[in-house]
Structure 1
Amino acid sequence: MIADVFHFSFTVSDLERSIRWYTEVLGLELVLRQRQDNDYTRTLVGIPDAVLEIAQLRIPGAPPRHSTHMLELVQYLRPAGDTVELRTTTVGVAHLALMVDDVHARHARMRAQGVVFRNPPVAIAEGANAGGFSCYFTDPDGITLELLQPSPARLAALGLAG
């Protein structure tokens, strides 16, 4: 049985740049930084000479459920990774949706910080999130992220309405 989500991870090209972006632009909090240069990691990732630099981040004020972090950023120091186009139509490409309480204000603030958005906040007209708003944007490596403002009805259904 799968009990819950522990964390998720993105491979990045420049860990320092990504830490700055995810903390300064998104407001996440750096929990831990570490280098993984050991047999366990090489076995886990299936790369005999792997050396990884890792940053673990969390949403400030969000109580931990099972882990101290929700996002892990990984830079492969050895072997260096390839840079590929991360189109949302490419099989295997994922995105992360972040719930916000005012998508329009967050969108405006992030645009002023130079974030490239695919679209302004759009009203969600159908499906489970109908009545909310959403927009897609990318991080410095082209990883797709989403800002999602749920509708009051969706928040109530999730037990989050105040």
Structure 2
Amino acid sequence: MNITGMVHININCSDYENSKAFYEMLGFEEYLKVPERNTEEVAAAVGMTTYRVKGALLRLKNADPPLVLDLLEWKEPSDESSPYLNLYQPGIARLALSSNNIYEDYDFLVESGVEVLSRPVTVTLGESTISRFFCFKDPDGIYLELVEIVRS
């Protein structure tokens, strides 16, 4: 295999404008609109005969390496079902983002009305790494995690 890194993470949403505003609040910015429709060849590559979406690629400001979200609201076909009901369901469960001030970020999200699962908690990883984290949800209930790593 010749894999050299990650390109983007696709997040499907029920309301593009609402989700875009949420991810912008987290520090992402739109840098490329996704075409509403594409060729039959592109549709086939994602397992469909045709599709229609509203979306864009969003990048996290000042992230190194870059972190890109492919945020899509599917118009045709569409699916009204909920995302994962819990964090232990098989599949990609959550997106973990890094913070350099987890307590300030926690307060900001709570004050902004974001659903959080708990206050930041501390966990020791190995003998010398301490991690503080908490989980929260985006407007569609997709789980996200904010992590601050402190090396001792």
TM-score (norm 2): 0.88
Cα 1:150–1:105 change in 2 (3 A) is same
Q: Which string of whole-angstrom CA distances, capped at 9 and with x for unpartnered residues, describes residues 20-73 of structure 1?
A: 11102x1211112223412233112111131122211111123565xxx61111
Aligned structure 1 segments of 4 or more residues deviating by more than 3 angstroms: 126-130
- Per the alignment, residue 18 of structure 2 pairs with 17
Conservation of the 8 A alpha-carbon contact between 1:41 and 1:50: no
Point out where structure 1 has 5 or more consecutive residues left out of the alignment: 154-162
Conservation of the 8 A alpha-carbon contact between 2:128 and 2:151: no
Identity of aligned residues (%): 28
Q: Which string of whole-angstrom CA distances, capped at 9 and with x for unpartnered residues, describes residues 95-130 of structure 1?
A: 111100010010001100001101110011344884
Q: What is the rounded CA distance, in whole Å, between the counterparts of 1:129 and 1:138 in structure 2?
A: 30
Q: What is the rounded CA distance, in whole Å, between the counterparts of 1:23 and 1:16 in structure 2?
A: 10
TM-score (norm 1): 0.83
- Per the alignment, residue 159 of structure 1 pairs with none
- Per the alignment, residue 158 of structure 1 pairs with none
Q: What is the rounded CA distance, in whole Å, between the counterparts of 1:128 and 1:117 in structure 2?
A: 29
Alignment of 1:111-126 (within 5 A): 111-126=110-125
The structural deviation recorded for 1:3 is: 1.2
The structure where strand makes up a greater share of residues is 2
Q: Structure 2 counterpart of 1:43, which letter?
A: A
- Per the alignment, residue 156 of structure 1 pairs with none
Q: Does 1:28 align with 2:28?
A: yes
Alignment of 1:1-162 (within 5 A): 1-24=2-25, 26-38=26-38, 39-63=40-64, 70-86=68-84, 87-127=86-126, 130-153=129-152
What is the total number of aligned residue pairs between the two structures? 149
Conservation of the 8 A alpha-carbon contact between 1:100 and 1:147: yes
Q: What is the rounded CA distance, in whole Å, between the counterparts of 1:40 and 1:75 in structure 2?
A: 20
Cα 1:128–1:73 change in 2 (3 A) is farther
RMSD: 1.9
Q: Structure 1 counterpart of 2:31, which letter?
A: V
Q: Which string of whole-angstrom CA distances, capped at 9 and with x for unpartnered residues, describes residues 112-151 of structure 1?
A: 0001101110011344884120000000011100000001
